Amino acid sequence: MTTTIKTYKDWGPYLHAARFDYEVTNLGDFIRQVRNCMEDNDCDVIGVYHDDVFVGGWTQECDYEPDYEDGGYYCVSANYVRPQPNSFDWECIKKHCFHPGIPVQLTNPIK
């Protein structure tokens, strides 16, 4: 019985998307890894799989403000939202996190 946290980050049209997989074995490691992903704002989507079955996840929602000097917009604040099952965001998490990513070893797992 393994739980895998899969992350996805879209870096735009010029760089490849990044996918990472984190295997956790206990609740402490799970909470710690999800918290690290959310605090670092380094992923657009976080998916949770238990024995390769999708059980849920979070999507990042940002508030943007215009950048008057350089044009475009920049992210002011980012929050993660847990979508309802079978919603549009739920399907997006399944779509982006379905493919395997780069396996990452946890540093200092809780024992």
pLDDT digits 0-9 by tens, 86-97: 899 898 888 888
How close are the terminal C-alpha atoms of the chain, in Å?
A: 17
Q: What is the mean pLDDT of residues 31-57?
A: 89
Q: What is the mean pLDDT of residues 39-57?
A: 89
Position 77 scores a pLDDT of 80
- For residue 60, what are the contacts with CB-CB under 8 A and spacing of at least 6? 41, 43, 44, 45, 78, 79, 80, 81
68 falls within a domain: yes
Please report, to the nearest 10 degrees, the dihedral formed by the alpha carbons of residues 96, 100, 102, 106 taken in order: 90
| Calpha distance 103→109 (Å, rounded) | 15
Whole-number average pLDDT of the chain: 85
89 falls within a domain: yes
| Calpha distance 5→100 (Å, rounded) | 11
110 falls within a domain: no
**pLDDT(108) > 60:** no
Work out how many domains the chain is built from and give that number. Answer: 1
Q: Which two tokens stand for residue 47?
A: 């998916």
What pTM does this model have?
A: 0.80
| Calpha distance 5→82 (Å, rounded) | 14
For residues 103 and 80, the model is more confident at 80
Position 45 scores a pLDDT of 93
The boundaries of the domain holding residue 27 are: 3-104
Instruction: Tell the residue number behind the tokens 């996805």, with chain if given.
Output: 8
111 falls within a domain: no
17 falls within a domain: yes
Query: Best-predicted range by mean pLDDT among 8-12, 71-75, 96-100?
Result: 8-12
15 falls within a domain: yes
| Calpha distance 41→111 (Å, rounded) | 26
Position 64 scores a pLDDT of 82
Instruction: Tell the residue number behind the tokens 């490691």, with chain if given.
Output: 29
